[in-house]
Amino acid sequence: MKSFEISNTCEVGLMSAAIYLYQLRKGPVSLEGELSVEDLELESLDELIETSAPLHYKVTAELFNQDILVQGELRISLDCHCVRCLDSFVHTVEVMDWSCAIPLKGEDKVEVKGDLVDLRPFIREDILLAFPQHPLCRPECQPSGYSVESDPKSKPLDEAEAEEDSTWAELDKLKL
């Protein structure tokens, strides 16, 4: 009963993390593999984060009403530079309970190419959300009283300048 039919699209051989709709109609489909940094267009997103290792995924997809429900795990190791001391360290991003609903109907419906649905854009979007915003080599590397969430205007200046700036700001306020 098993047949290995070749689809009409020429991209099939190149595409990974893609699902055939005809397979989904038969039942849940499990996928496991790796996606390269190039596959996911994750190169040079952030000067403090280098993506050199592939992303590992292990997911199950199934049809649910008009959606494809995908659930599983995503994992990628990042070469980070600490925002504080600039030391390099490896940070592994793991999304253990990833899930997403890919609509097949309606305004936001996914593009189906030759019966194939590409999961890469969805994986990319959600793994990026899990990337560290301010990579730190260790939690205590952040000195007390220092907050990266504080005034973003004072961030690029060195401390002396920042202090001077705030002094002037205080004076300006007094003048008003």
Note the residues at the interface with Zn ion (CB under 5 A).
Answer: 82, 84-85, 137, 141
Token pair of 129, please?
Answer: 């959300």
Nearer to Zn ion, 111 or 140 (CB): 140
Nearer to Zn ion, 82 or 93 (CB): 82
Closest among 29, 12, 18, 49 to 121, alpha carbons compared: 18
SS3 at position 122: helix
Taking the C-alpha atoms of residue 114 and residue 137, their distance in angstroms, rounded to an integer, is 45
Q: Tell me the closest approach of the beta carbon of residue 83 to Zn ion, in angstroms.
A: 8
Nearer to Zn ion, 68 or 137 (CB): 137
Taking the C-alpha atoms of residue 20 and residue 63, their distance in angstroms, rounded to an integer, is 11
Q: Tell me the closest approach of the beta carbon of residue 142 to Zn ion, in angstroms.
A: 8
Q: Tell me the closest approach of the beta carbon of residue 67 to Zn ion, in angstroms.
A: 42
